Amino acid sequence: MSYQVLARKWRPRNFTELVGQSHVVQPLVNALDHGRLHHAFLFTGTRGVGKTTIARILAKSLNCETGVTSKPCGRCSACREVDEGRFIDLIEVDAASRTKVDDTRELLDNVQYAPSRGRYKVYLIDEVHMLSTHSFNALLKTLEEPPPHVKFLLATTDPQKLPVTVLSRCLQFNLKRLPLEQIAAQIQKILDAEGIAHDAGSIKLLARAADGSMRDGLSLLDQAIAYGGGQVNEPEVRAMLGTIDQNFIENILQGLEAGAVGGLLKVVSEATEFGLDYEAVLKDLLLSLHRIALAQADPALAGEEGERVLAHARAMSPQDVQLYYQIGVMGSRDLPYAPDPRSGLEIILLRMVAFRPAEAGEARSSIPAATPAPRTVTPTATAPQTTSPVTVTAKPAAVTPAAATVSQSPGAPETKWSEVVAQLGLTGLLRELASSTTLESYADGVMTLTLEESHAKILSKEREEELRKALEKYHGAPMRLKMNLGRPTAETPAKEKSRLQDERQQAAVQAIADDPNVRALQEKFNARVNLASIRPKV
């Protein structure tokens, strides 16, 4: 007897054997049990999720010799013939190969005739979206007024291409991609039943590679059994799928945690020696970051590799993990445009380190865009370069010029004039007015301010009165305000703010110049820092 592939051998024969899709199965079971059957059903979903399998089970349920039932016996001639693909009243059509209107008309010419053996004549049209416009029109006429002995079961991976006139005449069921756990459980069940030696790691790899499709998962399982000589082991499956040894990903994660540029580049070099696919390395890294992010949200979500994942979750901040993931996703999109895959992966990892946010007390910097020196090729051909602010933590310098102080109330500690202005809650020109003054004196309920002559235009009786009321409210006592024009004897709040900003900017520039990660980028790629893009952390 010839070998039967696992996807066919283990195809579900009834609704109870079906893996997943309960949101589709339950309404079909209820309709069959209560005799409320529509004349047309549309099953949509990606490849290998069970569209035609459910349609065949439904055809069997409609024609089982025990009667219309949600639990076909599987033993009568009608059930066996449906399973074997030779039931005369189940007409299966591949619309991809029969798109012409003549084909459709020929198919529907016999709709009016009663079924030969079964209770219903069932038309199963796969990939129905491939029919031509004229074919849809021919089908539509039958869908509008179908004979009572006919049922239409339509399946498609692209329901958007179906005319709304057809959609409106069908009960629609959207089949979902199967979760990894359900695919892995079914693979485990099949391996146990077939008596094939295996390990847990290989099952997880196959289930992940199936990408939500049970049929793809079983096809890969067939391939893995052949590749492993009758056994299914993780090293052979990993080699067959071209997946990455987890040790490489572990080394990358450790390099990110330590901010070690050299270590990350060494891992890429080792990956090159082993002939690994750089895109696959990045994909596995993203999967690991996803698991770490879940564990940070809830340790119970760490999964099978709980201890390892939780260790990384503790070592990295949630902000860092989210940033790495986002950079990785954006980099995977741009990887095909890099001069070569290796340099593309290297620059993605370097970005993860360079853009990592500064921690408390740490003067860490990042490069927004490595601008190539003249006649130097840029290290990666990703999307057009944009200039983003560079974040550093810089300690504000002490205020050196003399600054007048004011007491808020008798016996209260003195406060700098710039701090008083900041606490007044002023806005617009009134804030600019107050920020351009210095406090000369405050005694006996009289406050004397000196306004820079260059700002005389913004002084008015109304603004002076508004400033007096704000100062009265701040001090909690009546007062008179005397405003002089001239050259302030001390630093105004506006000039103090400008000076502090300049000092923080200089500290930020110096922090970037001293950063070892920046130096590594400059040495390896001859990169230059875009000084205009540097912004100190507020």
Does 142 share its domain with 220? no
Residue 520 belongs to some domain of the structure? no
Residue at token pair 């979902």: 176
Residue 406 has pLDDT above 60, yes or no: no
pLDDT of amino acid 151: 92
Does 79 share its domain with 210? no
The predicted-structure confidence for 249-289, as pLDDT tens digits, reads as follows 888 999 998 888 888 998 898 888 877 788 888 998 999 99
Q: Which CATH number characterizes residue 149's domain?
A: 3.40.50.300
pLDDT of amino acid 243: 66
- The tokens describing 107, both together, are 């198919």
Does 165 share its domain with 185? no
Residue 502 belongs to some domain of the structure? no
383: confidence class by pLDDT, cuts 50, 70, 90: very low
* CA distances, 468 to each of 407, 415, 477, 483 (Å): 16, 18, 11, 10
Residue 139 has pLDDT above 70, yes or no: yes
Does 27 share its domain with 149? yes
Residue 155 belongs to some domain of the structure? yes
Percent over 70 (pLDDT), the chain: 86
The residue from 221, 241, 261 where one domain ends is 241
Does 15 share its domain with 73? yes
Among 184, 218, 277, 257, CA closest to 50: 218
Residue 124 belongs to some domain of the structure? yes
Residue 167 belongs to some domain of the structure? yes
- The tokens describing 411, both together, are 């016996």
The residue from 127, 153, 174 where one domain ends is 174
The predicted-structure confidence for 49-76, as pLDDT tens digits, reads as follows 999 999 999 999 999 999 999 999 989 9
Q: Which CATH number characterizes residue 235's domain?
A: 1.10.8.60
Does 64 share its domain with 109? yes
Q: What is the pTM of this model?
A: 0.55
Poorest-pLDDT segment among 151-165, 449-463, 523-537: 523-537
Expressed as residue numbers, the domain containing 458 is 414-490
- The tokens describing 329, both together, are 């996703």
Q: Which CATH number characterizes residue 446's domain?
A: 3.30.300.150
Number of domains in the chain: 4
Does 265 share its domain with 185? no
Does 53 share its domain with 164? yes
pLDDT of amino acid 219: 92
Phi and psi at 79, nearest 5°, equal -65, -45
Residue 211 belongs to some domain of the structure? yes
pLDDT of amino acid 253: 92
Among 174, 170, 171, 161, CA closest to 99: 161
* Pairs from 305-309 (Cβ < 8 Å, separation ≥ 24): 308/250
CA torsion sign for 496, 502, 508, 510 is negative
Phi and psi at 173, nearest 5°, equal -130, 120
Query: Which residues, 6+ apart, have CB-to-CB distance to 197 below 8 Å?
Result: 230, 231, 232, 233
Residue 392 belongs to some domain of the structure? no
CA distance 53 to 69: 17
* CA distances, 31 to each of 10, 23, 24, 71, 85 (Å): 26, 13, 11, 12, 24
Dump the DSSP string for 431-483: HHHHHTEEEEEEETTEEEEEEEGGGGGG--HHHHHHHHHHHHHHHTS--EEEE
Residue 493 has pLDDT above 50, yes or no: yes
The predicted-structure confidence for 226-250, as pLDDT tens digits, reads as follows 988 889 988 888 888 866 667 788 8
Does 10 share its domain with 157? yes
Does 202 share its domain with 267? no
Contact 87/78 with Cβ under 8 angstroms? yes
100: confidence class by pLDDT, cuts 50, 70, 90: low
Listed ranges 18-22, 56-60, 380-384; the one with the highest mean pLDDT: 56-60
Contact 60/134 with Cβ under 8 angstroms? no
Residue 504 belongs to some domain of the structure? no
Partners of 390 in the beta sheet? 534
* CA distances, 475 to each of 53, 416, 447, 471 (Å): 81, 14, 11, 6
Does 299 share its domain with 432? no
Residue 337 has pLDDT above 70, yes or no: yes
Residue 394 has pLDDT above 50, yes or no: no
Does 234 share its domain with 295? no
Q: Which CATH number characterizes residue 349's domain?
A: 1.20.272.10
Q: Where are the beta strands (DSSP E) in 142-293?
A: 150-156, 171-174
The predicted-structure confidence for 508-525, as pLDDT tens digits, reads as follows 888 888 888 888 888 877
